[in-house]
Amino acid sequence: MRQRIGFLVAGLAIAVMTSVVAAQQAGKVAEKAGVTLKGKITLDGDAPAPRTITITKDPELCSAHGTTVNDVKIGKDKGVADVVVEITGVKAKDESPFKWDLPRDGFVIRQKDCGFSPSVLVIPNGKSVKVFNDDKVTHNVNTGAWNEMQAPDAPAVEKPVKGRKPIKVSCNIHSWMEAWIYPVQSPHFAVTNKDGEYEIKNIPAGKYRVKFWHASLKPVKERLTFEKDADMTKDVALESFE
**Sign of the torsion formed by the C-alpha atoms of 150, 152, 155 and 158:** positive
State phi, psi for 162 to the nearest 5 degrees. -135, 140
Nearer to Cu ion, 114 or 217 (CB): 114
CA dihedral 198, 213, 241, 82 (to 10 degrees): -50
Q: Burial of 120 by CB count in 10 Å (0-12 exposed, 13-18 middle, 19+ buried)?
A: buried
- Closest Cα to residue 56, out of 138, 139, 175, 140? 175
**What's the closest the beta carbon of residue 128 comes to Cu ion, in angstroms?**
21
With CB under 5 A as the rule, give the number of residues binding Cu ion.
Answer: 5
Among 40, 174, 188, 214, binds Cu ion (CB under 5 A): 174
Shortest gap between Cβ of 53 and Cu ion (angstroms)?
12
Q: Identify which of residues 179 and 215 has a Cβ nearer to Cu ion in the complex.
A: 179
By CB under 5 A, tell whether 176 contacts Cu ion. Answer: no
Q: Which is nearer to Cu ion, 113 or 227 (CB)?
A: 113
Task: Give the x-and-dash track for 57-86 against Cu ion (CB under 5 A).
Answer: ------------------------------
173 binds Cu ion, rule: CB under 5 A: yes
| Among the listed residues 208, 188, 207, 206, the one whose alpha carbon sits nearest the alpha carbon of residue 198 | 188
Give the interface segment with Cu ion, choosing from 71-79, 120-128, 147-155, 164-172 (CB under 5 A): 164-172
Q: Does residue 40 interact with Cu ion by CB under 5 A?
A: no
Are residues 225 and 203 in contact, defined by beta-carbon separation less than 8 angstroms? no
Give the 3-state secondary structure of residue 190. Answer: strand
Identity of the residue, 82 or 135, whose beta carbon is nearer to Cu ion in the bound complex: 135
Site for Cu ion in 108-147 (CB under 5 A): 139
Phi/psi for 78 (5° steps) reads 65, 20
Q: Which residues bind Cu ion (CB under 5 A)?
A: 139, 171, 173-174, 177
